[in-house]
Amino acid sequence: MTRIDARFASLRQDGRKAFVAYIMAGDPDVETSFELMRGLPGAGVDVIELGLPFTDPMADGPTIQTAGQRALAGGMTLDRTLDMVRRFRAEDNETPIVLMGYYNPIYSRGVDRFLAQATEAGIDGLIVVDLPPEEDDELCLPAQKAGMNFIRLATPTTDDRRLPRVLQNTSGFVYYVSITGITGAAAAEAGDVGPEVSRIKAQTDLPVIVGFGIRTPESAAAIAGVADGCVVGSAIVAALAEGRPVPEVLDFVASLAGGAHSA
């Protein structure tokens, strides 16, 4: 059982919804990013989704693209991202960490070497948005063999013929993308999301967590109310980009977590 599996089992036992927070590793700099990361569990975050900066983040909107550019300009690398996770693990050995990014940096490192380094650092799961299920032999199956969850995205365009293939080797949780398009592009609507979550849950026992388009405690509560929890990313990244101090950003995160946990 991974930390992700254990966390969702605990949430289920307590009858609580999950709140997942996304931040970009190294944005706006390594120390600020680490200070934010280490404060997330205390702000009510159940799972940390840590973005790996990449030069061509095709699934991300301007807010997260710019965050990645700031991180890369500041010298953030895959090695420094893993070092950040090791520092976090020295203080917190319970909070699950999902590394989210693209396949190119992993491929360049070599899958076996990357998985050995990532598991040693304390990564619990992967979201790699540009590897479809047809490429499971590339990373998904080796990751699961190494003891990691591989979390797949389902979208509004994932129809009933495609869905079983998407779910086939998914573990940890299913990430449902509430809108078509890039991150931060539109607001999620619970009335649209609810039936889609039910459709997915009819085919899997995994938790279904909804992301994209959630910016307020009210929307976090509404979306978590029709799913097993929600993810907020762009709104948190934007708050940091506005120059707010980390304690103020963590207060905002706590308000979002409170919304999700109230569902």
Distance between CA 186 and CA 193 in Å, rounded?
A: 13
Go through the chain and tell me how many residues it has: 263
**Sign of torsion over alpha carbons 56, 57, 61, 63:** negative
Q: Is the Cβ–Cβ distance between 40 and 21 less than 8 Å?
A: yes
For 203, half-sphere exposure in the C-beta direction (CA atoms, 13 angstrom radius) is: 19
Distance between CA 88 and CA 13 in Å, rounded?
A: 26
The residue assigned the tokens 């992993």 is 106
49 carries an active-site annotation? yes
91 carries an active-site annotation? no
Q: From the candidates 27, 49, 124, 228, which is the catalytic residue?
A: 49
Q: From the candidates 5, 27, 60, 228, which is the catalytic residue?
A: 60
Catalogue the active-site residues.
Answer: 49, 60
